[in-house]
Amino acid sequence: MADIQLEVRDLRKTFHPGLFESDVEVLKGLSFEVRRGEIFGFLGPNGAGKTTTIKAITEIIFPDSGSIRVCGLPHTDLEAKRRLGFMTESPYIYRHLTGREFLRFCGELLGMQRSGLEERISRVLDEVAMDAHADRKMGAYSKGMLQRLALAQALLGEPDLLVLDEPLSGLDPVGRRDVRDIILQQAAAGTTVFFSSHIIPDVETICDRVAIIVEGRVRAVGSVAELMSDEAECSEATFVGAVPADLRTPLLASHVGSDASWARVSSAHRDALIQELADRGARLVSLNPVRSNLEDLLMRHYEGEGS
Ligand SMILES: Nc1ncnc2c1ncn2[C@@H]1O[C@H](COP(=O)(O)OP(=O)(O)O)[C@@H](O)[C@H]1O
Ligand SMILES: [Mg+2]
């Protein structure tokens, strides 16, 4: 049994919009692995290439190169497709179908047997807490209900791997909590969940591991704690008698206040800062270790370097 439920290797994709527009290189050798049973967050700003990656995984588009394996099989394999449940970024609404009719339609498309289908539909409606609304028309659903129904559709074929594109976007706090709970329940039941998001707290709170994607490349992978461990080590100093701009010690950030100045340094430069302030006859008012958060880390990757 493969322990890697989703493997993406060196994926590249360039779009060729047309004769008079330049090519867009969207995926630039993107790789990551999702392990069995984990909730894996695919985090990055708009335009990073998240949806393009998910479209490649679900074979809506074809990458120029690279490989994708789903549940240990090539993603083009029929059995791999059967094991994967997928929710798109903006699920299509059939306004005049009820939720139940929509799921029936999806089940038939999946080639599910009529006999088991009604029971399976009731089951997934229950799992996403939509049973009470199942016989209302989709046109009357709130955004949160539509999202839950879309999740029900993704769950219909009892997938081993759920692939969800921005499942938490555009929802109010209650809707967010509902969808988050559904993801957690599915993971608790043994389903591997891979989802994209550009919203940090959503990823921070529920993911076992996270990949940070910027401009078509994975910049960092690990648990939130692992990603933060290098980050935890910086200090904030407040001092009087010196101006940050004059200091030779590399500063991560600084601010000149009316009474005192403030600067943030990495742990590697903390002692140098203390020494330099002393050399300059400045007075250190306070020095505190600070834990930066995932947001700081992301900003550094987003603003960063073309590594
Ligand atoms: N069919 C396409 N033709 C040209 N450019 C595209 C196409 N699809 C996506 N892009 C571009 O690829 C980049 C990444 O898009 P996308 O994968 O949707 O990002 P994300 O989901 O991370 O916001 C964007 O700059 C987008 O404009
Ligand atoms: Mg997207």
Handedness of CA 296, 302, 306, 307 (dihedral sign): positive
As given in the structure block, the two tokens for residue 56 are: 């490649």
- In single-letter form, the type of residue at position 302 comes to Y
**Residue 24 near ligand 1, beta carbon < 6 Å:** yes
- In single-letter form, the type of residue at position 178 comes to D
pTM of the model: 0.81
Residue 53 CA to ligand 2 centre (angstroms): 9
pLDDT of res. 130? 96
pLDDT of res. 304? 59
Residue 242 has a CB neighbour count (10 Å cut-off) of: 20
Instruction: Look up residue 131 and give its DSSP letter.
Output: G
Residue 165's DSSP bridge partners are: 196
As given in the structure block, the two tokens for residue 9 are: 């290797």
**Residue 17 near ligand 1, beta carbon < 6 Å:** yes
pLDDT of res. 67? 97
Minimum CA distance residue for ligand 1 atom 25: 47
Residue 79 has a CB neighbour count (10 Å cut-off) of: 12
Q: What does DSSP say about strands 65-70 and 73-74: parallel, antiparallel, or unpaired?
A: antiparallel
> Which ligand has its closest atom nearest to the C-alpha of 165?
2
> Which ligand has its closest atom nearest to the C-alpha of 60?
1
Instruction: Look up residue 295 and give its DSSP letter.
Output: H
Q: Note down pLDDT in tens along the chain; length 307 residues.
A: 449 999 999 999 999 988 889 999 999 999 999 999 999 999 998 999 999 999 999 999 999 999 999 999 999 999 999 999 999 998 788 999 999 999 999 999 888 888 899 999 999 999 999 999 999 999 999 999 999 999 999 999 999 999 999 999 989 889 999 999 999 999 999 999 999 998 888 888 899 999 999 999 999 899 988 877 655 578 899 999 999 999 999 998 899 988 899 998 888 889 999 999 999 999 999 998 876 667 777 777 776 543 3
Residue 186 CA to ligand 2 centre (angstroms): 22
pLDDT of res. 306? 38
Cβ distance 142 to 93 under 8 Å?
Answer: no
* Helical ranges in 24-110 per DSSP H: 50-57, 78-83, 99-109
Domains located in the chain, CATH noted: 4-228 (3.40.50.300), 233-290 (3.30.70)
Cβ distance 13 to 63 under 8 Å?
Answer: yes
